[in-house]
């Protein structure tokens, strides 16, 4: 029975195994350590994440700075294991490195918020965050439909539980229920699409699907139907129109620390599975899925930006902002292959990757300011709560200004270059009308970002209480804001990293 069994190479997946072990260990430690503020649990979570940052980043740092780039090829080799269900490549390395950093920053921002709320101050909060991170890691390295689904469900189930952690809040419980029901529906769409593609190609392996399609002789009708369901499921996970209905309610209803988690790191994993499924597996059907993504993109930019204008709740405003940003990110994926011509693919896909990394950086900072302003019994989620922030704290008002300007695409912040790189790819591919539409909706979107700046600087404060926070929180928010500004002056650092990762992976 086991004569043909091949022992998989565990080394490429060692970070996933380490994280799974640490999550279980932290869960056990939390049971025995009686600490009201969960200091040990939080500390072990951060040690785990920072260990992964060093593990993933150190080989690249060594190859670039100590070997003059000579060792990069060895570091970024593509390796398949677990019967080709798992792939370790440069794109996975970069996205996972950004993922670890993002989750670590989110945990730091969340620390005070969680500790001040008895219903959330549980070790399970940190353990669920680690299991969600594990699910995202599996998604990023998936080369098989089953691996994609396992990673996706591990992430989703962890997030459902995190949204519902504040059991005393009716709003949070309602948000968790909506998220769970709609998430189950989206998983069903994704599974049904996968089953139809399997029926048409006879394989569940993503690279194998690409090879079967190249060879021809596949039932195109079944394949197109499967593709529609697959794109629908992916659209839900990205939160783009018309599969966006969960985003505003979940962002608003979830505890702010959980909203920050949902709004940042999972976007990296969602980008990865879009690339794995549509580009690695179904690139020969690009003309079919590009038309779908164009519709999703334009609708998302339109509804996201227009609906955000009417919001008085900052979390709901950022929710609609997220919808519009994901629509903008899709533009790069749309313009990778035009009429069978893949000359612009690397530029287009790397611009989308750069955009999603920039978006995660900006979102983390924006929600970090909300968490900084929040305190026990006060969420600081309405726009009026930010009136006169400049008089209460000129520095943090300045950081929020940089973040809002960056999200609006004002030069010279990282958000401007993220938008510019995507628009450049769209124009190079010949979609001039699409670039004009994107610019118009970006101009509309600038209104609600600049409104936040106006409220902070020109309105009288309702509450003049000084803003206090632990040193680590204040230092990280400051670093986050400065990163948005400095990476805007030197965007080629991340741009080159994205281009190299995709060049070695596609």
**CA 153 from centre of chain:** 16
268-301 confidence digits (pLDDT tens): 999 999 999 999 888 888 888 989 999 999 999 9
DSSP H helix total and E strand total for the chain: 21, 2
Residue 307 in tokens: 């609906």
Q: What crossing angle do the helices spanning 286-309 and 314-334 adopt, rounded to 10°?
A: 160
Nearest residue to 401 via CA among 483, 304, 481, 477: 481
Residue 6 has what pLDDT?
Answer: 74
Residue 50 has what pLDDT?
Answer: 95
Residue 1 has what pLDDT?
Answer: 47
Residue 26 in tokens: 């932290």
Secondary structure (3-state) at 341: strand
Beta strands in 54-163 (DSSP E): 79-81, 86-88
CA distances from 437 to 112, 290, 356 (A): 42, 17, 20
Contact 205, 84 (CB under 8 A): yes
With 0-12 / 13-18 / 19 or more C-beta atoms within 10 angstroms meaning exposed / middle / buried, residue 474 is middle
Secondary structure (3-state) at 80: strand
Residue 70 has what pLDDT?
Answer: 63
DSSP string, 347-411: HHHHHHHHHHHHHHHHHHHHHHHHHHH-BTTB---BGGGGTTHHHH-HHHHHHHHHHHHHHHT-T
Backbone angles phi, psi at 50, to 5 degrees: -70, -35
**Model-level pTM?**
0.94
Q: Is the peptide bond before 412 cis (omega within 30 degrees of 0)?
A: yes
Per-residue pLDDT of the chain (506 residues; tens, 9 = 90+): 455 667 778 888 999 999 999 999 999 998 888 777 788 999 999 999 999 999 888 888 777 766 666 667 777 788 898 888 999 989 999 999 999 999 999 999 999 888 888 888 888 999 999 999 999 999 999 999 999 999 999 999 999 999 998 888 888 899 999 999 999 999 999 999 999 999 988 899 999 998 888 887 788 888 999 999 999 999 998 889 888 889 999 999 899 999 999 999 999 999 999 999 999 888 888 888 989 999 999 999 999 999 999 998 999 999 999 999 999 999 999 888 776 667 788 889 999 999 999 999 999 999 999 998 887 567 788 888 888 888 888 899 999 999 999 999 998 899 999 999 999 999 988 889 999 999 999 999 999 999 999 999 998 887 777 787 788 888 999 999 999 999 999 898 899 889 988 988 87
């Amino acid at each position: 029975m086991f004569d043909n069994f091949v022992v998989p190479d565990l080394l490429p997946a060692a970070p996933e195994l380490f994280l799974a072990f640490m999550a279980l260990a932290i869960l056990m430690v939390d049971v025995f350590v009686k600490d009201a503020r969960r200091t040990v649990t939080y500390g072990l979570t951060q040690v785990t994440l920072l260990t992964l940052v060093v593990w993933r980043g150190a080989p690249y740092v060594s190859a670039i700075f100590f070997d003059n780039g000579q060792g990069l090829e060895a570091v970024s080799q593509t390796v398949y294991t677990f019967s080709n269900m798992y792939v370790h490549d440069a794109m996975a390395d970069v996205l996972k490195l950004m993922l670890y950093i993002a989750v670590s920053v989110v945990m730091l921002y969340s620390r005070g918020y969680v500790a001040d709320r008895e219903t959330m101050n549980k070790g399970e909060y940190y353990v669920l965050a680690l299991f969600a991170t594990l699910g995202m890691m599996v998604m990023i390295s998936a080369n098989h439909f089953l691996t994609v689904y396992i990673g996706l469900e591990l992430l989703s189930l962890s997030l459902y539980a995190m949204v519902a952690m504040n059991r005393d809040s009716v709003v949070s419980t309602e948000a968790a229920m909506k998220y769970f029901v709609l998430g189950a529906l989206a998983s069903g769409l994704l599974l049904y699409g996968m089953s139809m593609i399997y029926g048409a190609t006879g394989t569940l392996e993503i690279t194998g699907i690409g090879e079967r399609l190249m060879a021809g002789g596949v039932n195109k009708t079944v394949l197109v139907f499967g593709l529609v369901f697959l794109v629908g499921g992916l659209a839900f996970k990205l939160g783009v129109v018309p599969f966006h209905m969960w985003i505003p309610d979940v962002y608003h209803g979830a505890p702010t620390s959980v909203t920050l988690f949902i709004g940042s790191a999972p976007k990296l994993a969602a980008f990865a599975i879009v690339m794995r499924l549509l580009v690695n597996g179904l690139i020969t059907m690009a003309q079919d899925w590009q038309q779908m993504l164009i519709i999703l993109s334009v609708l998302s930019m339109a509804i996201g930006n227009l609906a955000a204008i009417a919001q008085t709740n900052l979390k709901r405003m950022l929710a609609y902002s997220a919808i519009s940003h994901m629509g903008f990110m899709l533009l790069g994926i749309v313009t990778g292959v035009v009429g069978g011509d893949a000359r612009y693919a690397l530029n287009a896909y790397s611009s989308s990757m750069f955009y999603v990394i920039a978006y995660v950086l900006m979102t983390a900072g924006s929600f970090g300011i909300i968490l900084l302003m929040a305190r026990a019994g006060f969420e600081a989620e309405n726009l009026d709560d930010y009136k006169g922030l400049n008089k209460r704290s000129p520095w943090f008002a300045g950081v929020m200004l940089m973040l809002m300007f960056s999200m609006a695409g004002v030069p010279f912040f990282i958000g401007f270059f993220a938008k510019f790189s995507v628009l450049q790819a769209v124009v190079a591919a010949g979609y001039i009308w699409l670039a004009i539409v994107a610019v118009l909706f970006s101009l509309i979107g600038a209104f609600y970002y600049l409104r936040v700046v106006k409220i902070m600087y020109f309105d009288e404060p309702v509450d003049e209480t000084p803003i206090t926070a632990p040193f680590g929180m204040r230092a990280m928010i400051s670093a986050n804001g400065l990163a948005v500004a400095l990476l805007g002056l030197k965007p080629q650092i991340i741009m080159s990293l994205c281009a190299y990762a995709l060049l070695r992976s596609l």
